[in-house]
Structure 1
Amino acid sequence: MPSYSRRQFVAGAAAVAAGVGLAGSPRASAAEVDRALGTSAARAVRVAGTTLEQVATASGTGPYLRLQSGPGWPLVVRTELAKAGAGRDDRRTALASFVQFTDLHLADTESPVRFEYLAQYIDSAHRPHEALTVRGAASLVDRVNSLPGGPFTGAPFSLVMATGDNTDNHELVELDWYLTVMSGGALTPNTGDTSRYEGVQNSGSASYWNPESSFQDNYKAAGFPQVPGFLSAAGRPFTATGLHTPWYTTVGNHDDSIEGTLPDLGLLNSLYTGGSKIEGVDSATAAKLADAIQHDPASAVLLLAQLLTSGGPVRHITPDARRAPFTPKQFAAAHLSSAVTGPGPYGHGFTQAAADSGKLYYTFPVAEGVLGISLDTTNRAGWADGSIGTAQLKWLESVLQSYSTHWYDTNGNVVRRGSQDQYVLVFSHHTSTTMGNTLPDPYNLFEARHTGAELVSLLQRYPNVLGWVNGHTHANQITPHAHAVAERSFWEINTASHVDFPQHARVIEVADNGDGTLSLFTTLIESAAPYATDFGDTSEQGLAALYRELSLNDPYATPAAKFGAAADHNTELLLARPGA
C-alpha cells in the first residue's frame, strides 16, 4: 500500500471532506468540512492500512463500476459532548485499543431455507457476491493482523469484538465457518455435495448472476462479468489465517432466527437439512411472502413451508445435516470448543453457564480499568429489530452499579455506593433506534421487553459509560447522547457491515487527554484485498477483491446510504471525564 506524506494526506483529506469519493455518496456538510480541514494525519502515530491512508473509490461511468485507491478520509474532531483542549495530543495516555467487526453474514448460499427470489423486495435476500462471504471475512482478519495497533495512540489491540450477524441463517455449518475464520484453520465454504455448487447462481435463471456461464442474465445486462471457474473457486477448501488477537462474540438477529427475520420454532429443521431448494416463484407469490416476512413473520414461516412442499421451481440438491439451525445454547457451546480457542480467550466471552442457560450476555475486560459489556438484543419472536428482556436489563444495571463509585437515580440524585470504578463500553448488535421490537419472546412469554430509548436512559445514569458500540444497520453512524450533566453523556458508535459495500470494520481507541476530557478515536478499516480486480484471477486475493467490487455493484443495494458522512468515519469523539 502506498505511503502518503503528511502534506499529501492533508490534501486528500480536504478533497474527501469536500465531498469527493464514491460516486453518489452524500457530501459532507459545511460544518463537517470545517472540522475536517482543521485536522490531519500529523496527529496520528501511523495511518498505513487504514482509511486514513486510502479508501476504495469507484471509477468508471457504469453500469458496472470498478474500484481503485482514493484519498484517505480525514480525522474529524467532534465536540458535541465536550470541548477539545489545546495541546491534548502531547498529554494523551492510551487506555484501550481494539477492533470491531460487525455483520459478517457468513452465508451457506446452497441452503434450502433462503429467499433469493425475494431480492427485489428485500435487498438482503440475495447478493451476487454472497458465495464469497467467508473469503471476504478471512481477508478482513488478515488486515487486522497486519496492523500493529491503534493509529492515534499506537497501543496494540487487546481484542476484536464481532457485534453480531456473524452467520447469515444461523446454521451450524455457518457457525463453524465463522469460528474457523476467527481462530484459524482449514475449511471448505460449501455444503451438500462439496465437489460442486448447488445454488441459484448456476440455475440458468435470468433473475440471478450466473458467473460461470455466458448466459445473458439480468446482472450481465447491467455489466456484470463472466468469471470462469468463479463458483468452484468460491467453494474450494482453503486455510484461514485466524486472528492473532483475542476475540469475542456478540449475538445478532441472523444468529438466532430464520434469515434474521422469522422466528425459529423448530418447524423448518427438516427443510434446512433436506434436498429441496426453491429457485424462484411467481411475482404474486414473491410479493405475498415478502410482505409476510416484513409484517407477519409467523405466517411467513407457514407460507415458506408450503412453498417448499408444493411450490416451484424446486431444485433437488444434496441434503446436509450440517445445515441444521443452532439454538442459543448451541451457539455458546460451539465457542467453548478447544478447536476454536485460537488466541483466546477460551469461550470468547461465553461460559459453560451460558451454554447451559442460553443467556448470551456477559462482561469481559477490554483493558485494565475498562470493562466491556456484551448484550443480547435479539428477540426470538421474529422481525429483524430487537429489544432486551427485563432480566437482562436488571443484570445490566447490577453490573453498572458494581463498577461505579457513583451514579444517578431516576430522579437525578447522586448515589455514592460503588466500591470500584471502571470505564465501561457496551456492545450489542442492535442500535438504540432499532430496538423497538417489544413482541413477547416466545421462549419467555411473561417477561417484558425494553426498547433502545430505555437503554439509553439507563446508560446515562452511569457516568463511567463512555460508549455503546453496535451494528445491524449496515451503515456508519456516530450519535452523541447528550445530557445536561456533562458526565452523563456518551457516544453511540454504529459501524457498517462487512457484507454490503463499503465493507468496513472499525478500530476504536480510548485515551485520557490529561485535561478533564477523554477521547474515543474511531478509524475505519477495509479488508486486505487489493482494490483492482481481474476477472481471470480466482486466487485467494483475487476472490477477496471481487467480493468487494461485486458488493459495490449489487443492483438491490444502496452503497451511498451505508457510507455515512465524514463525521461518521474517522473521528475523535470528546467526552467529559467522569468526576472531572
Structure 2
Amino acid sequence: MAGTEAVSAAVNRRRFLLASGATAAAGVAGTSAGAFLPRQRQQPAVEPAARTVAQRPPRSAPRAAPYALTTLETTARLGGSAHTGTYRRMVSGPGWPLVVRKELATPGAGRQDRRTPLACFVQFTDLHLADVQNPLRTEFLRSRGASSWRAQEALTVAGAVALVEQVNALGGGPNTRLRPAFVMTTGDNVDNNSAIELEWFLTVMSGGRITPNTGDPRAYEGAQNSGLPLYWHPGDPHLRDLDKRRGLPLIPGFLEAATRPITSPGLRIPWYSTVGNHDDLPGGCLSPALNDFAVGSRKLLSVSAADAAAYAKALGSGDDPKSEVLKAILTRNAASARTVTADERRRLCTPHDYLAAHLDPAHAGAGPVGHGYTQDNLDGERMYYSFKVAENVLGISIDTTYRSGHYEGSLGGDQLRWLERTLAAHSSRSYDADGRLVRNTGADDAHILVFSHHHSPSMTRRPDAARTDEPRHDGAEVIALLGRFPNVVAWINGHSHVNRITPHAHVTPARSFWEVNTASHVDYPHHARLIELTDNGDGTVSLFTTLVESAAPHHTARDFDDLSAVGLASLYREVAYNAPGLAESMKGGVQEGWAGGAGDRNAELVVAGGPATA
C-alpha cells in the first residue's frame, strides 16, 4: 500500500478507532476523511531555525537546566529488513528538524536573543489505557479488515508508565531552558469508560502499583488466547493466526507478562486532566445503558458478516445513540460468546464518578487535588475549568464530549457562554461577532491556551440525545469565538490520532491563533508534546511544539525474550509501528498521514502578541 491508498486506509482506520475503540473496518459505506482530518495542505518550507537555547541561552533565561532529550535529537524508526513477513524491527534514527511556521506572523530577526520564556509544559493525549478483557469491547469488527484491532493494546499500561518516566527525566525545554511545570492530558485517557481503567490511569499519573488484569486473577480471558485465528496469539506455537502470517512473532509468556503488576513512579510535576469521548462513553461512542454487558460474563469475539456489517453501519452513521444495534447483536449471540469471569470493576463511569475519582486525595500525586476539577465541578457535573499555566498565561480546559452515544464533539450553549465570559475576563480587548472592537475595562490581559479533546473538524452540531433541549456548537463556532480575542495563542487538542498544526487566520494578524492537534500514544507515532511559550520582544510570541517519545529503548530484545516492564514498553511501540498497512507505507521510517509533515511535528509557531501589540 502506498501513496493515496495508504493515506485513505489510515483515515478509515482512524475513523472507526475513534468510534468504537477498535480500528476501522475497511469498506464501510459513508466513511469520509473530511469528518476527522483537515484537508491535506502544502507543508511549509523548512526555514533554518534560529540558534537554539542549547547554543546560546536567551538573556532572560533562568540558570540552565539539563537539556531535554526529544525528537530533535533522535527518533524511533523501523529498520530496513523484516523479521519475518512484513514485521520490521525498531532502530534509532535521526531527529526531526525545527520548522519555523510563519503563516500568522513574520518571525523577527534576532528574536532568539530577545526572548523571554513564559511557560513550559507537556501534553499527553489519547493514552487509551485498555482493559482488553472487557466483554463490551467489539474486537469482532476485525472480520471486516486486519486493521480493525490493535495487536499492542494489552501493553497500554506499560507504555504509559514509560511515558511518565520520560517526563520525569526531562530537563529544561530545548527553547526556553524552563523545566516542564505540569502535564495536561487532552482526553481519551482510558478506552472503555470503565472504573478499573480510570483507576489505572490515575495511578499511572500519580504513582502506585497497577495490575492490568481483570476477571480471573490467575488467567487472561480475551481475544489473544481465544483460539480464533483472527487475532494474534503470541504464546501459541501451533496456531498460524492472521498476525503471525504477516510476521508478528511468537513470544512465550507474553500474556502472563502483560497482566502482571507494574509500578508507576507517578509524575513528579503537577498534572491536569481534560475529558475525551472514551472517558465519557464506553468504547467512545456507546450508550451508558450497556453496563450489564460490561460487568457480565459473556465476551463476544466472532459474529456473522451480516452482524459485523450492521454494527459498522451504525457506527458510521452515528444514528444509534442508545446502541440498540450492538445490544441486539450481543444478546442474539450470547450463546456463542466466550465465557469469562464477571467483574464489577468494569462498571461504566458516570461523569460524577469520573470527577469524584479525580478529586480523591489518594490520587493527588504531585497535585493539584482534582487535577483541574473542583468540588464545584463535581456538584454541577461540569467538566470544564480554567487554571493558571504561568504568570500572565491562562489555560482553559473545555469538555467537547457528547453524553449519549457518539464519538464526535461539540459544545453546549452554557459552556460556550462560560468560555466567552472566561476569555473576556482575561482580555483587555476583544471583538464582537460582527468584528467591532470591544474594550473590557479593568480586565487582566493574559496569553490564553485552550485545551480540549476533540479537534475542530470533529466537532459538529449533532443533537445530543442526553441533552435534547440544548443546541450544540461545532468547531467552526469555537474558532470564531477564539478569534474574537487577540490574546488567544493556541487551541491544543487530540482525538484524531494524527499530528496536524493548523493556522487560523482572522481579519487581522492580532486575531489569529494556532490549532495544535497531537497524535495518540496508543498508535504510531506514540508521541507526547513538549510545549514552550516565549515572548519575542517584538510584538510576537512563539509556541514551540517538540515531540517526545517514551523512555522505552528503541530496540527490542533480539529474541523477544525481555518481558520486563521496560521490554514490554519497547515492544508496545514496535508492534504499533507494525500495524497492518502502516509499515509497508512508511518512507524513511515516517508515515506522514499520521505523524504529520515536518511542520506538524517540531515547530516554532509565531503569532502576533506581547507588549508591542497591547
TM-score > 0.5, shorter chain as reference: yes
User: Does the 8 Å contact 1:262/1:297 carry over to 2?
Assistant: no
Question: Given the alignment, which residue of 562, 570, 577 partners 2:602?
Answer: 570
Name the residue aligned to 2:74: 54
Name the residue aligned to 1:550: 575
Comparing 570-579 with 512-521, greater Cα deviation is found at 570-579
Cα separation, 2, equivalents of 1:422 and 1:299 = 40
**1:415-459 C-alpha deviation (Å, 9 max, x unpaired):** 1124211111000001111102x2222332111000100000000
Deviation at 1:355, TM superposition (A): 1.7
**1:73-115 C-alpha deviation (Å, 9 max, x unpaired):** 0100111111111111111110110000000000010000001
Q: Which amino acid aligns with 1:338?
A: P
Closer, same or farther: CA 36–477 of 1 in aligned 2, 3 Å: farther
* Secondary structure in 1 matching 2:284: coil
Q: Which amino acid aligns with 2:207?
A: G
Cα separation, 2, equivalents of 1:122 and 1:163 = 29
Deviation at 1:516, TM superposition (A): 1.3
Cα separation, 2, equivalents of 1:315 and 1:381 = 28
Deviation at 1:299, TM superposition (A): 7.2
Question: Given the alignment, which residue of 272, 288, 299 partners 2:310?
Answer: 288
Q: Which amino acid aligns with 1:79?
A: K
Q: Which amino acid aligns with 2:91?
A: Q
Deviation at 1:303, TM superposition (A): 2.7
Q: Which amino acid aligns with 2:605?
A: L
List gaps (5 residues or longer) in structure 2: 1-8, 11-39, 58-63, 586-590
Closer, same or farther: CA 38–299 of 1 in aligned 2, 3 Å: closer
Question: Given the alignment, which residue of 454, 463, 466 partners 2:489?
Answer: 466
Deviation at 1:42, TM superposition (A): 4.3
2:547 equivalent to 1:527: no
Q: Which amino acid aligns with 1:49?
A: L
User: Does the 8 Å contact 1:261/1:297 carry over to 2?
Assistant: no
Comparing 307-316 with 148-157, greater Cα deviation is found at 307-316
Cα separation, 2, equivalents of 1:275 and 1:304 = 16
Name the residue aligned to 1:35: 47
Name the residue aligned to 2:513: 490
Question: Given the alignment, which residue of 58, 67, 80 partners 2:103?
Answer: 80
* Secondary structure in 2 matching 1:220: helix
2:87 equivalent to 1:67: no
User: Does the 8 Å contact 2:287/2:322 carry over to 1?
Assistant: no
User: Does the 8 Å contact 2:274/2:397 carry over to 1?
Assistant: yes
2:206 equivalent to 1:194: no
Cα separation, 1, equivalents of 2:219 and 2:187 = 30
2:538 equivalent to 1:518: no
* Secondary structure in 2 matching 1:394: helix
Q: Which amino acid aligns with 1:243?
A: L
Question: Given the alignment, which residue of 285, 298, 301 partners 2:323?
Answer: 301
Name the residue aligned to 1:15: none
Cα separation, 2, equivalents of 1:370 and 1:299 = 39
* Secondary structure in 1 matching 2:176: coil
2:516 equivalent to 1:499: no
User: Does the 8 Å contact 1:39/1:74 carry over to 2?
Assistant: no
Name the residue aligned to 1:561: 593
Cα separation, 1, equivalents of 2:411 and 2:286 = 18
User: Does the 8 Å contact 2:116/2:536 carry over to 1?
Assistant: yes
* TM superposition score normalised by structure 2: 0.86
Cα separation, 2, equivalents of 1:236 and 1:433 = 39
Question: Given the alignment, which residue of 310, 315, 330 partners 2:332?
Answer: 310
2:540 equivalent to 1:540: no
Name the residue aligned to 2:201: 178
Deviation at 1:61, TM superposition (A): 3.7
Comparing 192-201 with 555-564, greater Cα deviation is found at 555-564
Comparing 377-386 with 305-314, greater Cα deviation is found at 305-314
**1:463-512 C-alpha deviation (Å, 9 max, x unpaired):** 11100000000010000111231110001001110000110100110001
Cα separation, 2, equivalents of 1:347 and 1:443 = 25
The aligned length equals 552
Name the residue aligned to 1:253: 277
Deviation at 1:124, TM superposition (A): 7.8
Aligned-residue identity in percent: 51
Comparing 287-296 with 500-509, greater Cα deviation is found at 287-296
Closer, same or farther: CA 456–284 of 1 in aligned 2, 3 Å: same
Question: Given the alignment, which residue of 235, 241, 260 partners 1:217?
Answer: 241
Deviation at 1:48, TM superposition (A): 4.5
Closer, same or farther: CA 486–560 of 1 in aligned 2, 3 Å: closer
Question: Given the alignment, which residue of 217, 220, 236 partners 2:260?
Answer: 236
* Secondary structure in 2 matching 1:543: helix
Any residues of structure 2 matched to 1:92-491 within 5 Å, and which?
Answer: 92-119=115-142, 121=144, 126-214=149-237, 215-264=239-288, 266=289, 268-298=290-320, 301-311=323-333, 313-419=336-442, 420-436=444-460, 438-491=461-514
Cα separation, 2, equivalents of 1:124 and 1:224 = 14
* TM superposition score normalised by structure 1: 0.91
